[in-house]
Amino acid sequence: MPPAETLTPERILEVTEDVLRRYGPAKATVVDVARALGVSHGSVYRHFRTKTALREAVTQRWLDRTSTRLQAVVTEDGPAPERLSRWVRELFTAKQHKADDDPELFATYMTLVGESGGVVEQHVADLTGQLAAIILDGIEQGAFAPGDSATLARAVFDATGRFHDPCYAAEWSRPGIEEALGAVVELVLRGLRS
Amino acid sequence: MPPAETLTPERILEVTEDVLRRYGPAKATVVDVARALGVSHGSVYRHFRTKTALREAVTQRWLDRTSTRLQAVVTEDGPAPERLSRWVRELFTAKQHKADDDPELFATYMTLVGESGGVVEQHVADLTGQLAAIILDGIEQGAFAPGDSATLARAVFDATGRFHDPCYAAEWSRPGIEEALGAVVELVLRGLRS
């Protein structure tokens, strides 16, 4: 096991995720994390001052994995309508995988997300900010009608909630969900264009 | 108390709702319903053959209250875009009231809804059918672009989920929700028009 000096926040968060997966969010403690790292719990607290701070950081890291992945679609060149469509579809695919590939970890993070309202708000702000950037590009390209990109971004985010909001996770593997997503994206794109 | 002969299905369902409110969905039994009606449980079973049938019927009655109220917006004359906007807003208001005015009954019905998938499917089919009728009117009036009204109706229903799906009930009283609804309705109407 590595000595305490090599402890990085990222290493602590990695192990915290493992501990959460193993013990569940109700039972996992900072002492469990420290033990799994082979360090004292004081070493963990040096990086994350409270258990709440640690749980929020690991939740944010989990949510950031999605927004980081989508950032590429925001910054690349190309027609905004096509990028907006791809952004929504990639968000859906990312969430689908999170829910399907490791359902227990997904349930764990759903509990953590419920505890840390601020982290979720930041995540939604990150995502709608990405959407606003694509929409602004589209307005500048003349592909979308002029409008307030922040308001439009929030409307697009809300209108596609069925395909990224965890409360719909049970529906993401149902037949017909891709067609339903396609119909909403088309309607939204037509709305932005007109 | 009225004698068994005057028992109507509607009277049984009325009392069932009272019993569910009083005892909660986990504890309420057909015997409780019969007792509240002053009849034998056999009299109740003559109208609803199982406890499940009774619970499904009372759930459907609760959901139908919303769709019946909205039907007026479907059948009246007038420009389809304005009616579609009003239909979505009235659906939101109806759901908001159900959640706010009697939170315990709302929670009770959320449990029942979770038990009876078929009843919910029928409710969603009723609502998207109403939307499809308005959209078809709009296409005939030349206000909406030609398209498959059923597919478009489902897309509009999905796109407005934040404002009628019970999983968002906690957000329905937050500041800004009316503006968020307005932005989605405007985007959707623009999409239908184009």
Q: What is the pLDDT of residue A4?
A: 47
Task: Give a three-class secondary structure readout of A27-60.
Answer: CCCHHHHHHHHCCCHHHHHHHCCCHHHHHHHHHH
Residues in Cβ contact with B6 at an 8 Å cutoff, skipping those fewer than 6 apart: none
> For residue A67, is it within any domain?
yes
Total length of chain B: 194
User: The domain spanning residue B112 has which CATH number?
Assistant: 1.10.357.10
Quick one: which of A187, A176, A186, A91 has its CA closest to A131?
Answer: A91
CB atoms B190 and A189 under 8 Å: no
- Is the domain of B22 the same as that of B78? no
User: The domain spanning residue B18 has which CATH number?
Assistant: 1.10.10
Residue of A nearest to B145 (CA): A190
- Is the domain of B82 the same as that of B106? yes
Give the number of other CB atoms < 10 A from CB of residue A31: 13
Type of residue at B91: L
Find which of B187, B188, B194 to mutate to test the A interface (most A CBs within 10 Å of its CB).
Answer: B187
DSSP 8-state class, residue A77: -
Find which of A120, A172, A190 to mutate to test the B interface (most B CBs within 10 Å of its CB).
Answer: A190
- Is the domain of B20 the same as that of B99? no
- Is the domain of A38 the same as that of A93? no
- Is the domain of B163 the same as that of B72? yes
Question: Does A5 score more than 70 pLDDT?
Answer: no
Here the ipTM equals 0.90
> For residue A54, is it within any domain?
no
Residue of B nearest to A185 (CA): B155
Residue numbers in B near A161 (CB within 8 A) = 161-162, 168
Q: What is the pLDDT of residues B138-186, one digit of tens each?
A: 999 999 999 999 999 999 999 999 999 998 999 999 999 999 999 999 9
Minimum-distance CB partner of A191 among B154, B167, B188: B188
Residue of A nearest to B167 (CA): A167
Cα angle B72, B144, A147; round to 5: 105
> For residue B54, is it within any domain?
no
CB atoms B184 and A151 under 8 Å: no
Tell me the two tokens of residue B5.
């002969």
Question: Of A38-52, A100-114, B123-137, where does mean pLDDT reach its minimum?
Answer: A100-114
Phi, psi (deg, nearest 5) at residue B29:
-125, 170
Burial class of residue A41 (count of CB atoms within 10 Å of its CB; 0-12, 13-18, 19+): middle
> For residue A131, is it within any domain?
yes
CB atoms A160 and B159 under 8 Å: yes
> Rounded CA gap, B82 and B72, in Å?
14
- Is the domain of A189 the same as that of A111? yes
Quick one: which of B44, B53, B42 has its CA closest to B15?
Answer: B44
> For residue A136, is it within any domain?
yes
Q: What is the pLDDT of residue B194?
A: 84
Tally of domains within chain A = 2
> For residue B13, is it within any domain?
yes
- Is the domain of B92 the same as that of B15? no
Mean pLDDT of B54-69: 95
- Is the domain of B31 the same as that of B80? no
Mean pLDDT of B102-131: 92
> Rounded CA gap, A131 and A147, in Å?
14
Question: Does A117 score more than 90 pLDDT?
Answer: no
> For residue A161, is it within any domain?
yes
- Is the domain of A111 the same as that of A40? no
Confidence of residue A3 (pLDDT cuts 50, 70, 90): low
> For residue B170, is it within any domain?
yes
DSSP 8-state class, residue A146: S
- A193 touching B, CB under 8 A? yes
- Is the domain of A34 the same as that of A84? no
Quick one: which of B15, B21, B65, B75 has its CA closest to B39?
Answer: B15
- Is the domain of B181 the same as that of B154? yes
Q: Which domain, by its residues, includes B110?
A: 59-193
Task: Give a three-class secondary structure readout of chain B.
Answer: CCCHHHCCHHHHHHHHHHHHHHHCCCCCCHHHHHHHHCCCHHHHHHHCCCHHHHHHHHHHHHHHHHHHHHHHHHHCCCCHHHHHHHHHHHHHHHHHHHHHHCHHHHHHHHHHHHHCHHHHHHHHHHHHHHHHHHHHHHHHHCCCCCCCHHHHHHHHHHHCHHHCCHHHHHHCCCCCHHHHHHHHHHHHHHHHHC
- A170 touching B, CB under 8 A? no
> Rounded CA gap, B83 and A57, in Å?
46
Among residues 126-155 of chain A, which lie with CB inside 8 Å of chain B? 145, 151-152, 154-155
Residue numbers in B near A183 (CB within 8 A) = 151-152, 154-155, 158
